[in-house]
Chains A and B, each alone.
Chain A
Amino acid sequence: MDVVVTVNGERYERDVEPRKLLIHFLRDDLSMTGSHIGCDTGNCGACSILVDGVLVKSCMMLAVQANGASIETVEGLSQDGELTPLQQAFSDHHALQCGYCTPGMLMSATALLRANPHPSEDEIRRGIQGNICRCTGYVNIVEAIKAVAE
């Protein structure tokens, strides 16, 4: 099936099997390996991306469902080698150890801050509740997002 999507501002057209999950389309067909596959069961959120501005888990969506959509992934955050304030805050606050969850965390936090530029700590924690981190205990991730929100 023919699928046309815009990813981080660039248009892509590919022939895709309907059974292919959107995360595999991004990673295998478009070689954008920034979005990770953690659990493949919709629990961990490492594959979180924005589809038409809406935060979704790309392992719970078929690539053909994204036909015509505008997609944002972690690769699209930094511009000309400049980290976004959120990415810089993750670095400054040691908000990652192994880094596996980070792409999903960044996309969830990006969606949160767009909708609510000044979230409370409770709103931050609820905003990333679909993203699991097994290293940090979340404290520094919440601190990083808080730093950008203030």
Chain B
Amino acid sequence: MLLREVEYARPASIPEALRLLAAHDGARALAGGQTLINVMKARAASPDVLVDLSDLQELRGIELSQDGTVEIGAMTTYADIIDSAEARARPILGEVCAQIADVQVRNRGTIGGNVCSNDPTNHLPPVLVATGATMTIAGQNSERAVPAEEFFLGVYMTAAGPGELLTKISFPPGKQDGFASVAIGADGTCIVNAAASLDGGSLRVAIGCVAAVPVVVRPESADPDAVKTAVRGAELDPPSDVHASADYRCHLAEVLAARAVEQAGRGS
């Protein structure tokens, strides 16, 4: 497939990348490209300038602090997360990354690209919201921290605005997480998914694929009936398509939320 004409730059530093992103209205950061290249083929996105982040080593890597906080650079691939001893401090991360697509995509796809594209069927947005992750967003003259719950704004839209760059994602200490999904084939696109976390003293569930952004539910207890009641209370209004009707998605949301909470309770 021949893409629309596009300019290409591969900056050597984050400031240079930010300058390039700010200098062109139609500029877009290119991470692993496992979503962006495809949507460019479909002409669903037609950036004028691609700012390739692949040389920015400071955006890659996983650090584990003494208190158990896991910091992951935005350009870290799924494969890196799966193989990382540091990321195992929050086991759900590698476990979910191993369910994304296939070997080739996991080798190139990045955690930052996944969440910045914010396709509502992606695996990681609900995980980030449920675990209470914090996103660091760099602008030309500033840096700010945004809770994951406020990062996802709409379909393909996040708090990382034009001229800005998601640089890293921090996960607070914790091991009591869960994730459940029904996907189209093994490791395929999710029809509905749910992530849950019992860390930090409260139960938080985030449901994906049912709205433009992950839907947060806070059940009163980890009891499956309480979880299902809480999901029902969220009055989800998911889309219908060839894979599932809206009613079936609502049903899956309840069941998968309960499964994710059950796994969280076991401590993964």
Contacts and interface: CB of A to CB of B under 8 A. Distances in A.
A23 to B, nearest CB: 9
Interface string A90-122: 000000000000000000100110000000000
B1 A40 contact: yes
Contacts of B50: 18, 62
A42 B34 contact: yes
B102 interface: yes
Interface residue tally on B, bucketed by range: 20 to 34
B229 interface: no
B145 interface: no
B103 A60 contact: no
B188 to A, nearest CB: 10
Interface string A44-72: 01001000001111011110110100000
Interface in B133-180: none
B102 A129 contact: yes
Contact of B102 (A40, A45, A62): A45
B38 A42 contact: yes
Interface in B1-47: 1-8, 10, 30, 33-34, 37-38, 41
A19 B186 CA distance: 32
A79 interface: no
B104 A48 contact: yes
Contacts of B6: 18-19
A41 B38 CA distance: 6
Interface residues of A, number: 31
A130 B52 contact: no
Contacts of B10: 64, 67
B154 to A, nearest CB: 24
B102 A18 contact: no
Interface in B74-133: 101-105, 107-108
B65 interface: no
Nearest to B8: A18
A85 interface: no
Contacts of A60: 33-34, 37-38, 104-105, 108
15 contacts: A19-B4, A19-B5, A24-B2, A42-B37, A48-B104, A54-B107, A55-B104, A56-B108, A59-B37, A60-B38, A64-B8, A67-B10, A108-B104, A111-B103, A130-B103
Interface of A: 1, 17-21, 24, 40-42, 45, 48, 54-57, 59-62, 64-65, 67, 108, 111-112, 126-127, 129-131
Interface of B: 1-8, 10, 30, 33-34, 37-38, 41, 50, 52, 54, 101-105, 107-108, 186-187
